[in-house]
Structure 1
Amino acid sequence: MRRLVLLAALALAVPAQAATLYDDLGGEPVMRRVVEEATKNFLADKRIAVTFGETAIPRFKQLLFEQLCNVSGGPCTYTGRDMAKSHTALKITDAHFSALVEDLQDAMDKEKIAFTTQNRLLAILAPMRRDIVTR
């Protein structure tokens, strides 16, 4: 009986692991849907569609998922090139970058991801701007 009480006390003393941003975003199923919807938005957006002209879209979607998963604390490893090398020739402007962020937010809205959760992800992604914007 004493062992059971001790075991129960220890179980209660161990704090539950905090949810990651990845979990708050909905994990893999939701994040894959966000990537799918965001990619549709990017390609339909006249402000930025031209920047995807030479892009292998299936690979792009996989890399975007890996990146979002990785930076949000998920179990993924990003296997793509660094942002500067990937975007140098694309001549991305601040306006392009802002349009992409808007399209990503629209995709997250469609999945009903909380605004505060979206902002947590965007805060992590924001420093990449300096490697992506080249004009």
Structure 2
Amino acid sequence: MLSQRLTYFLKTLLLTLPLLGIGFAYADSHSQDTKSLYTRLGGLQPISVVVSDFIDVIVVDDTLNANPAIDAARKVVPAPYLKYQVTAMVCNATGGSCKYQGRSMKDAHAHLNISENDWQQMEVLLKGVLDKHGVPEKEQQELMEIVGSTKADIVTAP
């Protein structure tokens, strides 16, 4: 009697395992859609590497530094501090556990007289860094939407 139940259980298990596999495969592909942008970007380590490269690119950019206020700020605010703050902000804004404790975007950029041209140059540079690191297009678009949500607080010059 026990061996018949065990045999029945094993046969049932063997028949349902392929169905469970299909369910797990669906769950894995579906969960990719529901993962946070932070997770899809790979977490803190890759975010910090991309941010570091981005800051390295913008601090020496001639177009951005043609703005005297930006150029002056580059000489006062050290790049490692910017890297730390921007990494924390991106981590937080994409769903990570980091806490951004810097100033608001409006307060941090009010004195920089950032123009639409400056903003567009920053977007081009950011896109280049994201491409360099192989960030998928979907994640790039989501990140650019997040960055774009700060534009009204950053672009203050005509």
Q: 1:40: which partner in 2?
A: 56
**Is 1:27 paired with 2:43?**
yes
TM-score when normalising by structure 1? 0.84
Gaps of 5+ in 2: 1-5, 7-12, 14-19
- Choose which of 120, 142, 146 in structure 2 pairs with 1:124: 146
Instruction: Tell me the amino acid that sits aligned with residue 67 of structure 1.
Output: M
TM-score when normalising by structure 2? 0.72
- Choose which of 92, 95, 100 in structure 1 pairs with 2:117: 95
Cα deviation code 1:93-134 (max 9, x no counterpart): 011111111111111111100112101111122121000011
Following the alignment from structure 2 to structure 1, what is the Cα–Cα distance between the partners of residues 156 and 58? 19
* Greater C-alpha radius of gyration: 2
Mapped contact 2:109–2:154 kept (Cα < 8 A): yes
Give the deviation of 1:82 after TM superposition.
Answer: 0.2
Instruction: Tell me the amino acid that sits aligned with residue 150 of structure 2.
Output: M
Instruction: Tell me the amino acid that sits aligned with residue 153 of structure 2.
Output: D
Cα deviation code 1:59-88 (max 9, x no counterpart): 111000011111111111111000111011
Runs of 4+ in 1 over 2 A off after TM superposition: 15-18
Count of residues in Structure 1 that have an aligned counterpart in Structure 2:
127
Flag the structure with higher helix content. 2
Mapped contact 1:34–1:104 kept (Cα < 8 A): no
Instruction: Tell me the amino acid that sits aligned with residue 133 of structure 2.
Output: E
Give the deviation of 1:40 after TM superposition.
Answer: 1.2
% identity of equivalent residues: 25
The higher-RCO structure (CA 8 Å, 6+ apart) is 1
**Is 1:63 paired with 2:82?**
no
